[in-house]
Amino acid sequence: MSDENQNQGTNPAEALRILSEKIQQESKIIQILREEVSKVIVGQKYMMDRLLIALLADGHVLLEGVPGLAKTLAIKTLSDAIDVDFSRIQFTPDLLPADVTGTLIYNQKSEEFTVKKGPIFSNFILADEINRAPAKVQSALLEAMQERQITIGDETYILPKPFLVLATQNPIEQEGTYPLPEAQVDRFMLKVFLGYPNKEEERQIIRANVSKEGLPTAKHVVTSEDILRSRDLVRQVYLDEKIEQYIVDLVYATRRPDTYGLGFLSPMISVGCSPRASINMALAGKAHAFLQGRAFVIPEDIREVASDVMRHRLGLTYEAEAENISASDIVEKILNKVEVP
């Protein structure tokens, strides 16, 4: 419960009821947003849910999927529906950090340097095929993602709110790609794998794209203030100590699998999840509860987001790769073994 309610001596049950009413009211706004986005995006409910969780929890998303799964369209449509600025950055081997953040330009008339801000100065950033650029460019995003600010020359500039980075990776073309630095991967709240649409969804996609009207565009139905207000409520969602312990157990099981009867996983894991996994799982769990219209987190909220939060933070050994065991497989085994409160 919030400190404010405790300081005022408010009955916890009453405070939870008041918060629940607020969340029910605000979640209607998110439902309106969902409906508007669904007019453009066919299917991909899983991806849109994860984008909303990241948006409400002030995190970033790393998307991995083959081309043509509406990754670009999804973030563009979301920005249209919320009425915020959107930038798309195509990552290529010759991209420079200044192409992302901006640079100082000398003005001969005034004999002064002026700042030309880069595309990072938007609310929603699509970092397309992020693994196609070298590490120095990828690291240019680090300050923006973690600190929500950019330094150009001697000046530091605060980025607009809300700020969301959606980075995409192509899983099938590895030629000419660079692995993301671990420090940067850790900054992504969620890593989401996208699958193909089903047959009915694919038929709807064909119809929408070949009709004479063309694809519809989303209207502005939500403001950035609505999103920031919802974020404040997400932070207030109640997280019980038992749920906190469950999060810690899940994360700790990646570091010391033997203490949870998962000793057979020890040869598979080279690096366990960082403390950011615990923080992001708690925040994502709160956001998931909010999307369900609840003022408190239940174990199912954590189980729903655990794989997306943990899979990219796990380091796998050569033995795991040789046996074709993925990070998702390991997380699933941990979820099946660790006791649920």
Q: For residue 268, is it left (φ>0), alpha (ψ between -120 and 50) or beta?
A: alpha
How far is residue 103's CA from residue 118's CA, in Å, rounded to a whole number? 7
How far is residue 31's CA from residue 34's CA, in Å, rounded to a whole number? 5
Reply yes or no on whether the pLDDT at 161 is more than 60.
yes
- pLDDT score recorded for residue 176: 58
SS3 271: strand
Cβ burial of 111 (10 Å; 0-12, 13-18, 19+) is exposed
- pLDDT score recorded for residue 288: 95
State yes or no: cis peptide before 197, omega within 30 of 0. Answer: no
- pLDDT score recorded for residue 246: 95
- pLDDT score recorded for residue 335: 92
Q: Extract the tokens encoding 14.
A: 């009453």
Q: Kindly tell me the number of DSSP H helices and DSSP E strands found in the chain.
A: 15, 11
Does domain 1-236 fall under CATH 3.30.1360.70? My reply is no
Q: Which tens digit of pLDDT belongs to each residue from 43-83?
A: 778 888 898 999 999 999 998 877 776 777 888 888 888 88
Q: How far is CA 109 from the centre of its chain?
A: 44
Reply yes or no on whether the pLDDT at 4 is more than 50.
no
According to CATH, the topology of domain 237-341 is Helicase, Ruva Protein; domain 3 (1.10.8)
How far is residue 256's CA from residue 249's CA, in Å, rounded to a whole number? 10
**pLDDT bucket at 6, cuts 50 / 70 / 90:** very low
Contact by Cβ (8 Å): 337, 261: yes
Which residues on adjacent β-strands are paired with residue 168?
63
Reply yes or no on whether the pLDDT at 189 is more than 80.
yes
- The residues spanned by each domain of the chain are 1-236, 237-341
**Alpha-helical segments (H) within 39-96:** 45-56, 71-82
Which segment, 60-69, 95-104, 274-283, is predicted with the most confidence on average? 274-283
Contact by Cβ (8 Å): 70, 202: no
Which residues on adjacent β-strands are paired with residue 127?
89, 167
Mean pLDDT, the chain, whole residue set: 85
